[in-house]
Amino acid sequence: MNKFIFVSGGVCSSLGKGVAASSLGALLEGRGLNVRMVKCDPYINVDAGTMSPYQHGEVYVTDDGTETDLDLGNYARFTSGPLSRANSITTGQVYESVIRKEREGGYLGRCVQVIPHITDEIKSRIQAVAKEDSETDVVIVEIGGTVGDIESIPFLEAARQIIHESGKTNALSVHLTLIPEVAGGELKTKPTQHSVKAMQELGIQPDILICRAPVKLDEGTRRKIALFTNMETDAVFTSYDIDTTIYEIPLIFFDQKLDQVVLKKMGVECRHSDLKPWYAMMDKFRSQQGKVRIGIVGKYMDLHDAYKSVYEALFHAGIEDGVKVELVKIDSARLEETDTADGILGPRAADGGVDGILVPGGFGQRGINGMVRAAAWARNNKIPYFGICLGMQVMVIDWGRNVLGWDDADSTEFDRGTGHPVISLLEDQMDIKDYGATMRLGKSETVAESGTHIMEAYKERNIWERHRHRYEFANIFRKDMIESGLRLTAFTPDGGLVECVEWPDHPWGLGVQFHPEFKSKPTAASPLFRDFIAAVRDRKQAQR
Ligand code: GLN
């Protein structure tokens, strides 16, 4: 069985299309189906690797090292199917391959056009995901943008053709819209009617409507929407505002029987639903006690999406550890202006300070010295610290400068001429000038030493996590670092690269060169995030 579900959106952007698509995926997995998720991005960038986190949010990295849109992160948190290059389709990729084929004479002299050539390329990429694994039951395709956008038209046309060719039960259209509330508390359905009309003009009659609304729509409103959009009342669902967490949305849709209606429309026999992990997660969420304040010291602090997976992983850890995690976003540049980190981070700070520090990944010089200050402060005050990628490199720079006394200790990313390049490019990368593909990207193996915090977290020596970085712990300084007490606790299998450092005589100070945030789920928190938050919680409780 190969079925397709196309998820589109209308009225306005940021309605939570990704979360809606993922939640539907979670429900279908709960019914025992094998689900694959695909994102179609109408932008012309070939991938998200070159996009600024300030504008576009984080770059999500898959096992195979593809740098994708952060929507794939949503899929990974809600569903369990594999994600790779094939699951992210951008206009840039589509045009790139059509143009390459044209240059190679692949179109035999014909005129190459948006329809059929671009749309055929989109279709074949979507169908390739369905064919990748013979076990795949359903492919959920999220179409980025809003109906009416010029850029989304080829993707919607490809969806229309697949729906037309597959037949009614084999391909569905799910459309997400907004029901705004106007003064006086009245809910307005008109934008939704227009949005569905825009879909119909493109030849797609939505089968399922999911309406974002402040409250659950009543029967009368749903009937009215159904009448004006050519749909059945029981195919109109509400994604209403909640004050818990987005991870409750699969259960909210389940209560409205979204999966049952979808399965019925696809002619799939309704199997028993198992959503135990989701209910158990919500029970833990509801019984959280107390809170910890985590200072995230980074450079892209204004846009929440820039560290999306890190924030989500902290949230998952809080669920697992039974404590609420408050995010305290600190622009590291602020720590550069003052020589007392204590005034910003410590108990005397205006907001009461933080209970733990996390320095996430990042690129470029700005704010680095502030991060080094945050690390030194956490080390000296025995505050739990978690460094991810750049955050680990910062630990090593701090150790070089403040423990070994090398004032010029630095990464060659920030100071090429330093006498103590404690973080540097791999020797064999030294001459590479083209920044295109020189990064260590994607899944690789790390081996942990026993008797370490990293081993305690994963409970096994062989760890598989994803990387996205160019610079490495410089091996020429290993001896000095170890002799002065820094613990090097995990390595690549050949021992050649340092993957984890830990502070001695410290409750929990650990940095990893990889990105554990990408594999964290609400129903299965990343082990390192879980232990970091547990250390913060325990230290706070002990202080009382
Ligand atoms: N800029 C650093 C490097 O390239 C760290 C990258 C990261 O934190 N993702 O090695």
CATH class belonging to 288-542: alpha beta
Q: Which of 366, 390, 422, 425 to mutate to test the pocket of ligand 1 (most atoms within 8 A of CB)?
A: 390
390 ligand 1 Cβ < 6 A: yes
Nearest CA to ligand 1 atom 5: 390
Averaged pLDDT for residues 187-201: 95
Mean pLDDT along residues 3-19:
92
Per-residue pLDDT at 434 exceeds 60: no
For 231, residues 6+ apart whose C-beta sits below 8 A from its C-beta are 196, 206, 207, 209, 225
Cβ within 8 Å of residue 137, ≥6 positions away: 1, 2, 3, 28, 33, 34, 35, 268
Distance from Cα 306 to the centre of ligand 1, integer Å? 14
Closest CA to 77 of 516, 521, 518: 521
519 CB less than 6 Å from ligand 1? no
pLDDT in tens, 437-457: 478 899 999 999 999 999 999
176-199: average pLDDT = 94
Q: Which of 40, 211, 389, 500 is catalytic?
A: 389
In this structure, what are the phi and psi dihedrals at residue 47, rounded to the nearest 5 degrees? -145, 180
Please give the distance, rounded to the nearest whole angstrom, from the Cα atom of residue 471 to the centre of ligand 1: 6
Contacts of 52 (CB under 8 A, 6+ apart): none
Could you read off the pLDDT of 40-63 as tens digits, one per residue? 999 888 877 777 777 778 899 999
517 is catalytic: yes
CA of 300 to the centre of ligand 1 (A): 14
- Do the Cβ atoms of 296 and 360 come closer than 8 Å? yes
449 catalytic per annotation: no
pTM of the model: 0.93
**pLDDT tens digit sequence for 78-130:** 999 999 999 999 999 999 999 999 999 999 989 999 999 999 999 999 999 99
pLDDT digits (tens, 9 = 90+) for 513-535: 999 999 999 999 999 999 999 99
On the question of a common fold for 3-281 and 288-542, the answer reads yes
Strands 487-491 and 440-448: antiparallel
**Going by C-beta distance under 8 Å and a sequence separation of 6 or more, which residues neighbour residue 165?**
none
Give me ligand 1 centre to Cα 502, in Å. Answer: 18
User: What is the average pLDDT value for the chain, to the nearest integer?
Assistant: 93
> DSSP of 276-308, one letter per residue?
HHHHHHHHHHHT--SEEEEEEEES--S-GGGGH
- Residue 231 has a pLDDT of 94
Q: What is the pLDDT of residues 295-327, one digit of tens each?
A: 999 998 888 888 999 999 999 999 999 999 999
User: Atom of ligand 1 at shortest distance to CA of 363?
Assistant: 1
Atom 9 of ligand 1: nearest residue by CA position: 361
Q: Does 48 sit in the ligand 1 pocket, CB within 6 Å?
A: no
Active site residue 515: yes
Q: Which residue has the higher pLDDT, 288 or 12?
A: 288
The Å distance, Cα 91 to ligand 1 centre, comes to: 28
Fold of the 3-281 domain? Rossmann fold (3.40.50)
Helix (H, G, I), strand (E, B) or coil at 179: coil
How does residue 64 score in pLDDT terms, banded at 50, 70 and 90?
A: very high
Per-residue pLDDT at 333 exceeds 70: yes
Helix axis angle for 308-321 and 71-78, nearest 10°, is 20
Question: What token pair was written down for 498?
Answer: 């340092």
Calpha distance 239→541 (Å, rounded): 38
Which amino acid appears at position 80 of this protein?
S
Amino acid 286: pLDDT: 97
Residue 431 has pLDDT above 60, yes or no: no
Q: Which residues have a Cβ under 8 Å from the Cβ of 279 and sit 6 or more positions away?
A: 251
Calculate what percentage of the chain has a pLDDT beyond 90: 82
pLDDT digits (tens, 9 = 90+) for 386-415: 999 999 999 999 999 999 999 999 999 999
Strands 181-182 and 171-178: unpaired
pLDDT confidence of residue 435:
46
Q: Whose CA is nearest to atom 6 of ligand 1?
A: 469
Say if residue 430's pLDDT is above 80: no
**239 close to 249: Cβ distance less than 8 angstroms:** yes
Coil, strand or helix: which one is 33? coil
The pLDDT value recorded for residue 172 is 97
Predicted local confidence at residue 62, as pLDDT: 94
Q: Which residue has tokens 């001695």?
A: 504
**What's the CA dihedral at 511, 516, 522, 527 to 10 degrees?**
-60
3-state secondary structure of 197: helix
**Mean pLDDT on 408-432:** 83
Per residue in 480-510, pLDDT (tens digit) is: 999 999 999 999 999 999 999 999 999 999 9
Q: How far does residue 501's CA lie from ligand 1's centre (Å)? A: 16
For the chain, the structural domain boundaries read: 3-281, 288-542
In whole angstroms, give the CA distance from residue 498 to residue 495.
7
Q: Which residues contact 466 (CB under 8 A, 6 or more apart)?
A: 61, 62, 63, 65, 441, 442, 443, 444, 514, 515, 518, 519
- Asked if residue 413 has its Cβ within 6 Å of ligand 1, the reply is yes
Contact 172, 264 (CB under 8 A): no
pLDDT at residue 436 greater than cutoff 50? no
Beta carbons within 8 Å of 263's beta carbon, 6+ residues apart: 28, 31, 269, 270
Per residue in 12-43, pLDDT (tens digit) is: 888 899 999 999 999 999 999 999 999 999 98
What does the alpha-carbon distance between residue 168 and residue 171 come to, in Å, rounded to a whole number? 6
pLDDT for 364-373, tens place per residue? Answer: 888 999 999 9
| Region of residue 16 (phi > 0: left; psi between -120 and 50: alpha; otherwise: beta) | left
- Pairing outcome for strands 421-425 and 471-473: antiparallel
Counting residues of the chain whose pLDDT is more than 70, the rounded percentage is 98
Atom of ligand 1 nearest to the CA of 439: 4
